[in-house]
Structure 1
């Protein structure tokens, strides 16, 4: 029998044992002490869909690098990012990416791919395993953290070798210091990396853009440095979006973000995720993929076209299709996150639901067919609540591994719950 008071105590004990985890955010419940069960077939469907989506994006990346600057700007890319987007340095376009999926019509369709700076990592690969032990159930992510560790290690060493330096690399994990979720996500990745590394908040990093000859006769090499003056070889920026980076300026107006990318281009520092991940971040890439499929372009094989038909939603750079069909659709910014600036519209183009945050209102808009998220009932500290489910699956070095669930309203945002996921059987 469910007792709200007993549930509150259990939840407090359970998440109280998870050090440096954000079980509550913004003063409200974030991590639920409950679970949702997937069948083995659903788990396999999610992984298959995510692997196919990853393949389609990797293939499209080759096309994107051949497009003129004007076309890339139409897809929402910042002009100052363009000189860096066509450079591919790692075997994988992105080390850690996350696909957000909706279960509809017996399959899973892509809502969006966060290729550049996905979070929800610790919840999926760590907390979910503790929840499985608590509920004495099987997790679809058992042992998956090993794949993440190997991917991080591979990316760091592969990136460092490109710098052509001797000795051990100085690896720094970074984030904004005042955002607990970002900071502890990054520190979690640092812990599981198995590599000797430091955590340095973004505000303590500084750039030397050109070699400086010192009074004593030595030279301060151009590069990225920490507050103690140590030159950084590899910077792991898991939660720091590249679209923010290109606009970063110092107090005197210097474009320090662009300077950092120039240092990366000249192989003075390695960045993970690499800028190639940002090339796949724009939601307008979904519109490009859908457009090529819809026109029957031979760029995609017959099998790949079948994958697009099954796993993609109609997505465009204008509203005309949906207004003509008079069907519900979603307007979202090309580079938005956590539901910020998302608007759901009816067939007349009138808003019927929108996120209160409008951080990305000046970004290139993308329009996508609306499909309702499936519903379930969950236990919260305030009683039972009906929620809508967003399925997620990570691409780790291009391989589908790590399934998660967000639970919330029509728009999944930063106030939506984390709901542990288990397997039947």
Structure 2
């Protein structure tokens, strides 16, 4: 196809139904592909499975620790009972690991286990871009696996409720295209009888249940993009704590949600400090093989910066709960601030300190011409199993202005 990059990009993405190729009036989805070797893809899946197993194992431990420990990790007091609820066999139905290629392997900087985005891009759009560029899709058939696992999870929750005809509602902020279309995509591929209802139209009755705008009782709420830490401060026009009411419904078994409560437990970045602390003690909670995996794939992470300051190691300071690079700061070997994200929305949360490592650089085509950026890999776990993968590329801190770079597989 002849034409400039801008023309070809516009022609391609304009054909895609309900996709946000541009965000914040800026280019988001690139008309380009980065090719990954088959062996590298296999390593990526292997690393993701191992990292996921460590996170999911620690979830079982954290549900048993005292309330004080959870509060010291930065969990709001209002969520403690909710955190101990286990509704699904998997800790999280859909989670995304953020990985940095390092040496011959990968380092995990965090897990987005509660409300991960980047789903429609990797499970759907990536395949269309690969077809456009005549390259193999590394995420082939991942959408079929995803839809099957969502149905399996919903069936598991409904069987537990002994409800033969559950009312399933998918919800999101209606005015946010990324949130809305991600949820509508998941609803579509799930293929179960359900309804999409915008978040502002969902009604709650304290201690009784959740209802749609016509007064019908909702049994299962799929809220892929609405974080629990935001939910707990949610109030209605009368000042009622409707977010906390919703958590109480889940605690009492009057409502099921996906992702489940256990996913919020792992969303806290302080969990990585717990994992690293147990690893430094060579604690018997982890097997020797698991300790090897932690050493290979995890980064030193603490609730204080002393370790890095004493050893002269560059580090990142980030909020226990936070998204899109917001409130992230990078410090050099002398402990001086060298880079900070301009957004400061999460300053009230407990800070977590993690060793800083460089992202690999890559060049890519864009509407601004050839650019060089820093790569971050998003690697999905679906019901705990490695699934779709893809690249974000941008600045030193990956934020909501970073690009989506489609990934192709070397034949």
> Is the shorter-chain TM-score for this pair beyond 0.5, marking a shared fold?
yes
What's the counterpart of residue 30 of structure 2?
32
* Counterpart position of 1:219: none
State the partner residue of 1:223. Answer: 209
Q: Deviations over 1:137-179 (max 9, x none)?
A: 011100110111011111111112222334x221111111111
Among candidates 303, 311, 329, match of residue 297 of structure 2: 311
1:334 — aligned with what?
A: 320
CA distance in 1, matches of 2:282, 2:89: 29
Q: How many residues align?
A: 411
Q: Give me the whole-angstrom Cα distance separating, in 1, the residues matched to 2:325 and 2:75.
A: 19
Following the alignment from structure 1 to structure 2, what is the Cα–Cα distance between the partners of residues 17 and 196? Answer: 28
Q: What's the secondary structure of 1:119's corresponding residue?
A: coil
User: Could you tell me whether the CA contact under 8 Å between 1:162 and 1:267 is conserved in 2?
Assistant: no
The question of whether the paired residues in 2 share the 8 Å contact of 1:115 and 1:281 is answered with yes
1:13 equivalent to 2:11? Answer: yes
For 1:242, which of 224, 228, 234 is the aligned residue? 228
Aligned partner of residue 389 in structure 1, secondary structure: strand
Report the Cα distance in structure 2 between the residues aligned to 1:111 and 1:46, rounded to whole angstroms: 14
- How far is 1:289 from its partner? 0.3
In structure 1, the residue matched to 2:187 is 190
- Displacement, 1:136? 0.5
Q: Secondary structure at the match of 2:16?
A: coil
2: distance between equivalents of 1:350 and 1:18? Answer: 45
Determine the structure 1 residue equivalent to 2:120. 122
- State the shift of 1:348 in Å: 2.6
CA distance in 1, matches of 2:285, 2:211: 44
CA distance in 1, matches of 2:135, 2:284: 46
Q: 1:141 aligns to what SS in structure 2? A: coil
- 1:215 is matched with none
1:412 aligns with 2:398: yes
Root-mean-square deviation over aligned CA pairs:
1.2
**Gaps in structure 1 of 5+ consecutive residues:** 211-221
Partner of 2:199: 202
1:334–1:365 CA contact under 8 A, matched in 2: yes
Report the counterpart of residue 41 of structure 1 in structure 2: 39
* Aligned ranges 1:265-284 → 2 under 5 Å: 265-284=251-270
Helix, strand or coil for the counterpart of 1:178?
coil
Q: Which residue of 1 aligns with 2:332?
A: 346
Give the equivalent residue in structure 1 for 2:170: 173
Q: How does 1:90-105 map to 2 (within 5 A)?
A: 90-105=88-103
Could you state the TM-score of these two structures normalised by the residue count of structure 2? Answer: 0.98
Partners of 1:105 and 1:129 in 2: how far apart?
28
Please report the TM-score for the alignment, with normalisation by the length of structure 1: 0.95
Partner of 2:150: 152
CA contact (8 A) 1:35 1:421 kept: yes
Give CA deviations for 1:307-345 in whole Å, capped at 9, x if unaligned. 000000111111001111122111010111110110111
Conservation of the 8 A alpha-carbon contact between 1:163 and 1:268: no
Gaps of 5+ in 2: none
Q: 1:163–1:270: 8 Å Cα contact kept in structure 2? A: no
Q: Which residue of 2 aligns with 1:214?
A: none
Q: Give the Cα–Cα distance (whole angstroms) in 2 for the partners of residues 99 and 26 of structure 1.
A: 25
Moved over 3 A (4+): none
How many Å apart are 1:39 and its aligned residue? 0.9
Deviations along 1:339-371, one digit per CA (max 9) or x if unpaired, are 011011112322111111111011110011110
Aligned to 2:285: 299
Aligned to 2:389: 403
Partner of 1:256: 242
Q: What is the CA–CA distance in structure 2 between the aligned matches of 1:144 and 1:59, rounded to whole Å?
A: 24
The CA deviation at 1:74 is: 1.3
Structure-1 separation of matches of 2:256 and 2:391 = 32
Aligned twin of 2:111: 113
Offset of residue 257 of structure 1 = 1.1
Give the equivalent residue in structure 2 for 1:60: 58
Verify: 1:322 aligned to 2:321, yes or no. Answer: no
1:45-91 C-alpha deviation (Å, 9 max, x unpaired): 11111100111111111110111111111111111000111111111
